[in-house]
C-alpha cells in the first residue's frame, strides 16, 4: 500500500520535472532539473526492487551526465533561443504517437502481475539455478556477468568506443599544476569537505566493486563512483592537480587493460578446454570457478568504466573556451 | 483497492511512462537548441528504463538478491538489460555533447535553425 503511494508520488514528481524541463529557457536550470529527474527515477527504481539499476542511475544519470552537461553549457551558451516555427506539427505528432502507445498498453498485463509472460520464461530459471550453479546471492550480478557475459563484454566495448570517440572529437591538453579559478580557491568549506570525502568515495567504490556479488553493485557502478571521486577533486583543486595523480597516459592504458582482462578471462577458459567465458572451468570446483570469473570480469569492467569516464571528463574540461 | 489495481489502475505506471516519453520526444523534435534536444533524449531514455523496470516488478516481491525469508523476487533480467542500457546512455550522451561542443566551435551557435541558415548561405 505504502509502496503504491510512494510509487505514484514519484511518478507525479517526474512528470512535473519533465514539464518544467520543456518549458524553461535557461539551460543551466534545465541541467539541474535533469539531474533531479534522474535522481527521482533512481528513487523509483528502489521502490520497484531494482536496487542495482538505482545505484547505476544515481551515479551515472544524476552524477556524471550532469557534470558533462554543465561542462557543455559552460563551453557553449546558457540561453535557449525561441523556436522559429509554431510547435503545432510536433505537438500533433507527439499526441498521436502517445495515443497509439497508450492504445498498445491495453493489451499489456497489469502492473505487478506475477503471471505476466515476462516472468514465465528464463527469469525463473535464473533465480533457481543461481544459488547452486553460480553461488552468488545477487542474481542481477550472476545474469550480468555469467549467464549473459557476452552481452556485458559488448557493453564494455561500447564504453571503450565512446571514450575513443570523445578523444577523437575533443582531443586532450595537459593543464598546468594549480591552474584553477581563484574564486574556487576562496571556498574553504568546499575544499576541506572534498579532501575529507575523497578517500571515503574511493573506499566506497572498492566496496561496491567487490561486494557486488552479495549486494547491489558491481564493476559498472564502482567504476563510475571511483571516477566521481577524482572529478570531485578536480572541481575543487583544479584539473592539473588530478592529472598529476592519474596522468592521461595511465588512463589510456587502463581503458584498454579493462577490456583485455575481460577478453583474457574468456580466452583462458578456452585454453583450459571450455567455451569462451565458461567460468566454471577456471577452478577445480565449478562454483569457485564462477566466483573467480565473475570477480575478474567485474574488475575489468570497473577499470575500463573508470578510465573512460575520466578520459571523457579530461577531454571536456581541458578544451579551451 | 486490490480490485482497482487490477482494473484501469493496473496500467497507470505505463501511461505515466508514455507521458514522460512523449515529453522527451516533443523536446527532441520541437526545440532547435541542441543541448535541449539531448536532454529531451535523456528524458525519453529514462522513461524507457522506467517502463522496463515497471514490467519487472512483481506484487509483494523483493529485490532479486537471494536471502533467507524472501520467497518472491522481482524479475532480474530487465534489471540487467537496463543497468547496461544506462551505461550505454552515458556513452551516447558524452559523444553527443562532444559533437555539440565541436558544432559550437565551427558555427558559433548551437541553435539548429541558425545552423541551417549558415549551411544554406555557404
DSSP assignment of A138-178 equals BHHHHIIIIITHHHHHHHHHHHHHHHHHHHHHH---PPPTT
Verify whether the Cβ–Cβ distance B22 to A95 is below 8 Å: yes
Is residue A306 within 8 Å of A226, Cβ to Cβ? yes
Q: Which domains does chain B have, with CATH numbers?
A: 2-64+73-121 (1.10.287.3510)
Is residue B61 within 8 Å of B72, Cβ to Cβ? yes
Give the C-alpha separation, A264 to A73, whole Å: 40
- Chain A residues 184-223 within an 8 A CB cutoff of chain B: 214-216, 220
Verify whether the Cβ–Cβ distance B93 to A65 is below 8 Å: yes
pTM over 0.95: no
In a domain, A100, yes or no: no
- Residue A119 DSSP class: G
Domain count, chain A: 1
Give the C-alpha separation, B51 to A268, whole Å: 38
| Min Cα–Cα distance to chain A from B8, Å | 9
- Render pLDDT for B34-43 as a digit per residue (tens, 0 to 9): 999 999 999 9
Measured over the CA atoms of residue B13, residue B14, residue B19 and residue B21, the dihedral's sign is positive
| Min Cα–Cα distance to chain A from B32, Å | 6
- Determine the 3-state secondary structure of B58 from DSSP: strand
In a domain, A238, yes or no: yes
Residue A126: phi and psi, rounded to 5, are -55, -45
Q: Indicate if the pLDDT at residue B1 is higher than 50.
A: no
Residue B33: phi and psi, rounded to 5, are -75, 130
Neighbours of A196 (CB within 10 A): 9
In a domain, A302, yes or no: yes
**Based on the number of CB atoms within 10 Å of its own CB, is A1 exposed (0-12), middle (13-18) or buried (19 or more)?**
exposed
Among B21, B48, B35, B43, CA closest to B96 = B35
| Min Cα–Cα distance to chain A from B122, Å | 21
In a domain, A291, yes or no: yes
Per-residue pLDDT of chain A (321 residues; tens, 9 = 90+): 788 889 999 999 999 999 999 999 999 999 999 999 999 999 999 999 999 999 999 999 999 999 999 999 998 888 888 877 788 999 999 999 999 999 999 888 888 888 898 899 888 889 988 888 888 899 999 899 889 999 999 999 999 999 999 999 998 777 766 666 777 788 889 899 999 999 999 999 999 999 988 889 899 999 999 999 999 999 888 888 888 889 989 999 999 999 999 999 999 999 998 889 889 888 889 899 999 999 999 999 999 999 999 999 999 988 876
What residues in A contact B110, CB-CB < 8 Å? 76-77
User: What confidence score (pLDDT) does residue A178 get?
Assistant: 63
CA count, 13 A, side-chain hemisphere, B27: 28
Verify whether the Cβ–Cβ distance A113 to B59 is below 8 Å: yes
Give the C-alpha separation, B22 to B27, whole Å: 8
Which triple of cell numbers denotes residue A298? 567485474
In a domain, A16, yes or no: no
User: What confidence score (pLDDT) does residue B61 get?
Assistant: 87
In a domain, A296, yes or no: yes
Which triple of cell numbers denotes residue A226? 571511483
Give, in order, the Cα–Cα distances in Å from B57 to each of A45, A47, B19, B83: 10, 9, 20, 15
Which triple of cell numbers denotes residue A32? 539541474
- Render pLDDT for B49-96 as a digit per residue (tens, 0 to 9): 999 999 999 988 899 998 888 888 999 999 999 998 998 899 999 999
Is residue B48 within 8 Å of B21, Cβ to Cβ? yes
Chain B contact for A78 (CB, 8 A cutoff): no
Among A86, A75, A254, A271, CA closest to B103 = A75
In a domain, A226, yes or no: yes
- DSSP β-bridge partners for residue A21: none
User: What confidence score (pLDDT) does residue B4 get?
Assistant: 46
User: What confidence score (pLDDT) does residue A177 get?
Assistant: 65
In a domain, A308, yes or no: yes
Give the C-alpha separation, B56 to A93, whole Å: 29
Domain that holds residue A277: 125-321
Mutation choice for A interface testing from B49, B74, B83 by most A CBs within 10 A: B83
Is residue A47 within 8 Å of B13, Cβ to Cβ? no
Which of A30, A114, A162 has the CB atom closest to B39's CB atom? Answer: A30
Which of B15, B19, B84 has the CB atom closest to A151's CB atom? Answer: B84
Verify whether the Cβ–Cβ distance B77 to A76 is below 8 Å: no
Give the C-alpha separation, B104 to A8, whole Å: 40
Give the C-alpha separation, A167 to A39, whole Å: 28
* Residues shown for chain B: 122
Is residue A303 within 8 Å of A252, Cβ to Cβ? no
pLDDT greater at residue B3 or residue A86: A86
Give the C-alpha separation, A71 to A85, whole Å: 29
- Render pLDDT for B15-28 as a digit per residue (tens, 0 to 9): 999 999 999 999 99
Chain B contact for A318 (CB, 8 A cutoff): no
Helix (H) or strand (E) holding B90: helix B76-107
**Based on the number of CB atoms within 10 Å of its own CB, is A320 exposed (0-12), middle (13-18) or buried (19 or more)?**
exposed
| Burial annotation A175-194 (CB, 10 A radius, 16+ → b, else e) | beeeebeeeeeeeeeeeeeb
Amino acid at each position: 500500500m505504502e509502496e503504491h503511494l510512494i510509487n505514484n508520488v514519484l511518478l507525479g514528481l517526474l512528470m512535473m520535472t519533465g514539464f518544467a524541463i520543456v518549458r524553461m529557457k535557461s539551460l543551466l536550470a534545465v541541467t539541474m532539473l535533469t539531474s533531479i529527474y534522474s535522481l527521482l527515477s533512481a528513487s523509483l527504481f528502489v521502490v520497484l526492487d531494482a536496487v542495482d539499476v538505482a545505484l547505476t542511475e544515481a551515479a551515472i544519470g544524476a552524477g556524471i551526465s550532469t557534470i558533462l552537461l554543465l561542462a557543455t553549457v559552460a563551453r557553449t551558451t546558457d540561453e535557449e533561443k525561441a523556436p522559429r516555427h509554431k510547435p503545432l506539427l510536433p505537438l500533433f505528432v507527439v499526441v498521436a504517437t502517445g495515443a497509439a502507445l497508450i492504445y498498445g498498453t491495453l493489451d499489456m498485463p497489469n502492473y505487478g502481475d506475477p503471471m505476466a509472460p515476462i516472468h514465465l520464461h528464463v527469469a525463473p530459471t535464473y533465480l533457481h539455478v543461481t544459488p547452486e550453479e553460480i553461488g552468488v546471492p545477487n542474481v542481477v550480478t550472476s545474469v550480468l556477468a555469467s549467464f549473459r557475459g557476452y552481452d556485458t563484454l559488448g557493453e564494455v566495448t561500447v564504453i571503450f568506443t565512446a571514450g575513443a570517440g570523445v578523444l577523437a572529437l575533443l582531443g586532450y591538453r595537459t593543464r598546468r599544476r594549480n591552474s584553477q579559478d581563484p574564486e574556487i580557491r576562496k571556498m574553504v568549506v568546499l575544499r576541506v569537505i572534498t579532501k575529507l570525502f575523497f578517500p571515503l568515495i574511493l573506499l566506497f567504490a572498492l566496496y561496491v566493486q567487490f561486494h557486488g556479488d552479495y549486494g547491489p553493485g558491481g564493476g559498472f557502478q564502482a567504476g563510475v563512483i571511483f571516477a566521481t571521486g577524482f572529478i570531485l577533486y578536480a572541481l575543487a583543486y583544479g584539473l592539473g592537480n588530478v592529472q598529476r595523480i592519474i596522468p592521461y597516459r595511465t588512463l589510456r592504458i587502463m581503458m584498454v587493460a579493462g577490456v583485455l582482462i575481460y577478453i583474457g578471462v574468456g580466452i583462458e577458459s578456452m585454453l583450459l578446454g571450455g567455451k569462451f567465458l565458461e567460468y566454471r572451468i577456471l577452478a577445480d570446483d565449478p562454483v569457485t570457478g564462477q566466483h573467480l570469473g565473475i570477480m575478474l570480469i567485474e574488475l575489468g569492467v570497473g577499470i575500463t568504466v573508470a578510465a573512460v569516464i575520466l578520459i571523457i571528463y579530461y577531454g571536456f574540461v581541458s578544451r579551451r573556451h | 483497492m486490490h480490485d482497482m489495481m487490477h482494473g484501469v489502475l493496473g496500467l497507470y505506471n505505463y501511461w505515466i511512462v508514455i507521458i514522460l516519453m512523449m515529453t522527451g520526444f516533443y523536446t527532441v523534435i520541437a526545440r532547435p537548441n541542441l543541448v535541449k534536444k539531448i536532454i529531451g533524449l535523456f528524458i525519453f531514455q529514462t522513461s524507457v528504463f522506467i517502463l522496463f523496470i515497471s514490467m519487472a516488478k512483481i506484487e509483494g516481491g523483493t529485490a532479486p538478491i537471494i536471502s533467507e525469508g524472501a520467497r518472491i523476487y522481482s524479475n532480474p533480467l530487465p534489471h540487467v538489460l537496463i543497468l547496461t542500457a544506462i551505461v550505454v546512455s552515458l556513452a551516447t550522451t558524452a559523444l553527443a555533447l562532444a559533437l555539440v561542443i565541436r558544432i559550437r566551435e565551427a558555427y558559433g551557435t548551437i541553435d539548429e535553425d541558425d545552423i541551417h541558415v549558415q549551411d544554406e548561405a555557404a
